[in-house]
Amino acid sequence: MKFGILGFLLFSSYFCFAQSEKLPATKESLITVSDDSINANSAELEGLAIINDPAGYVSIYKGDTTSKIITRLFNDEVFMFLYAPSTSDWAEVGFEPELNSLDSIEKKYYSKFIRRGECIVNGDICLDKFIALSALPHINNISITDTMPEREILIQNDTVKLFAKEAPFDIKKHKINLGKDSMQKIDDKKPWGSFDIPNRQLASIKLEIKGKQIEIPDSSYNDLYEPNMETFKVCFDKKGNIYLYMDGSDACCSYYIAWIIKKGKYLKRYVEMSGYN
């Protein structure tokens, strides 16, 4: 029942959003919206999302609207949501601000959390104020090729092409720092997707828009392990922003990752552990 209610609310909010804010049918549009490009399975209990509000921001509360406002989340910012089972129209939200990528107004709202040493802003958000990335329009033309021991995925339409590859993890090519109970760092970075020596790693991402190569830096994926290649999606919002979306690993190591492409350029990534860990 909880799953069904959430699905209905998310789909309803997206349907209203899509009807009132359709992508302009111009030559500049990166992707043409069609009925079958909308993810019908929008019933997500957790995942990454973006704000859906004409004001350009949404207030984050410590509870419901009768509670204290903690901060704001702004349009185009990706964040983690977790459906709150105790209510039908609210979800928990987690957000880790990256101050270097924010403008002066946004920094005003997020800097206080950094000064207090808090890594993540936690609060509550109304379900009709956001859209899960998995519920955004996405490209359906997907092919996965197993060329053992590697695995490749190709997602494309007439204007956008994404190629990604996973490969076996070669311990001889990496610097490993082990802790008492689990992995500390690989190549001086926190590893996503494994608490032990990983088996697989995301080895390559290549993106083209209208035949132009978009640079995706190695640093945005060379710490991602046990990728679930079949979950890759190329999604887009009403502004033409593109989100490369994937979830990785499973159980206590599972995570979500989104690479954000804005105005034809790589902006940043957002990665978060599963909220049920």
**Tokens linked to 196:** 């032990």
CATH architecture of 2-135: Roll (2.30)
Report the distance separating Cα 261 and Cα 102, nearest Å. 15
Q: Does the global pTM surpass 0.85?
A: no
Rounded to an integer, what distance in angstroms lies between the CA atom of residue 229 and that of residue 223? 15
Paired tokens of 32:
């043409």
> Cα–Cα–Cα angle for 166, 172, 173, nearest 5°?
60
Q: Say how far apart CA 57 and CA 22 lie, in whole Å.
A: 19
Considering the chain, what is the average pLDDT of its residues? 78
Instruction: State mean pLDDT over 37-52.
Output: 62
Which tens digits make up the pLDDT trace of 156-208? 999 999 999 999 999 999 999 877 766 689 999 999 999 889 999 999 999 99
Q: Which two tokens stand for residue 137?
A: 């329009």
Query: What ranges do the domains of the chain cover?
Result: 2-135, 142-273
Indicate the DSSP class of residue 96.
Answer: -
Both tokens of 61, joined, read 């509360």
pLDDT for 247 equals 95
Give the dihedral sign, CA 7/9/10/16.
positive
pLDDT at position 158:
96
- Reading across the β-sheet that carries 150-156, which strands appear in turn? 142-147, 150-156, 160-168, 200-209, 212-214
Residues 6+ apart with CB under 8 A from 274: 46, 254, 255, 256
Return the amino acid letter for 227.
P
